[in-house]
Amino acid sequence: MTVRWPNGARCVAAFTVDFDGTGNEVGQGLEPVGIRSAGGYSARRGIPRMLDIFERHGIPATFFVPGYDAEQNPDTVRAIIDAGHEIGAHGYLHESFDLELDEEERLLRRSHDILTDLAGTSPVGWRSPGGKKSSRTLAVLQELGYVYDSSDKDYDQPYPAIVETRKSTEMVELPNNTSSLDDAPLYVNGGVTPREMLELWKAEFDSIYNDSGYFMLTFHPRAGFGSGIPSRARVIDRLLAYIKSFPDVHFTRVDELARWCLEPENGHMNHSTWIGGRA
């Protein structure tokens, strides 16, 4: 498969972090203390540790931040921005449940305003915190100026986002694979060790490098949930070193990749295999 990527690269690599702080618990009506305090680790240790790794390797990243967590940890969000990384939206209280349409829109706009005020620029990307979207979600986001969604799991490279049942020419879907390229289900449900995770992600990269060349990986900085603790963060460190050893890999923030994909001459908005928005 021959696919175009920025700068003529053979493979594009995007590293994303889902902030997932104490808002996960607060959204469920729980106090984020004691056994439910893992979200507090994100801002205190997990994200600073990941920022250090990205800086050491010179790698840009995208952080998807719930509005509530941004309110509670403004200095952490500013540190992400100051390091040159992207801030994307990720719900308000990491909503993993169905919402009434009007309530969903209210929270989308609220989170957008929080991140805009804090960052000084508006977010242009969104990832569903609980994996759910309604018929209105992307229409609201497109009205707010978003250019990409990174929630769906149904393809292995970018494609036109489906806004109100139609393919959009102004918004691109950048799918993320939560089966094998997301730390949470593998550590929590799969019970893999850090050593096993590193070998799995190396194998995934090898395969993608030799196929479509679209590699997007998702980390979580929560304690006991993702990659924030030392042994698991070390996996990120070693994986980045491994990927950097390959020629023609373009490391990118997701917003930069989205804007590149939206350029008609780059072909990602014109897949001939797409009929009615699905392959």
Per-residue pLDDT tens for 148-189?
Answer: 999 999 999 999 999 988 888 899 999 998 889 999 999 998
**248-259 in b/e burial notation, b at 16+ Cβ within 10 A?**
ebbbbbbbbbbe
Contacts of 162 (CB under 8 A, 6+ apart): 138, 168, 173, 277
CB contact at 8 A, 61 and 255: no
The answer as to whether 250 is a domain residue is yes
- Write out the two tokens for 86: 């992207």
- Write out the two tokens for 87: 């801030």
The answer as to whether 45 is a domain residue is yes
CB contact at 8 A, 137 and 112: no
DSSP for 110-163, written as a single string? HHHHHHHHHHSS---EE--SSS---SSHHHHHHHTT--EE----S-SS-EEEEE
Number of domains in the chain: 1
Does 276 or 110 have the greater pLDDT score?
A: 110
The answer as to whether 278 is a domain residue is no
The answer as to whether 246 is a domain residue is yes
Q: pLDDT-based confidence at 6, cuts 50/70/90?
A: very high
CATH of the domain at 14: 3.20.20.370
What's residue 276's pLDDT? 44
The answer as to whether 50 is a domain residue is yes
pLDDT in tens, 40-57: 999 999 999 999 999 999
Q: How many C-beta neighbours within 10 Å does residue 234 have?
A: 15
What's residue 40's pLDDT? 96
CB contact at 8 A, 45 and 77: no
pTM exceeds 0.85: yes
The answer as to whether 49 is a domain residue is yes
Q: Compute the distance between CA of residue 43 and CA of residue 46 in angstroms, rounded to an integer.
A: 6
Does 25 or 98 have the greater pLDDT score?
A: 25
The answer as to whether 122 is a domain residue is no
What are the residue ranges of helices labelled H in the chain?
23-26, 40-41, 47-57, 67-72, 74-82, 101-119, 137-143, 183-184, 194-209, 230-244, 254-262
- The residue among 218, 268, 184 whose CA lies nearest residue 13 is 218
What's residue 279's pLDDT? 42
3-class state of residue 14 by DSSP = strand
Q: Compute the distance between CA of residue 24 and CA of residue 38 in angstroms, rounded to an integer.
A: 10
Host domain of residue 36: 6-96+177-266
pLDDT in tens, 52-71: 999 999 999 999 999 999 99
The answer as to whether 249 is a domain residue is yes
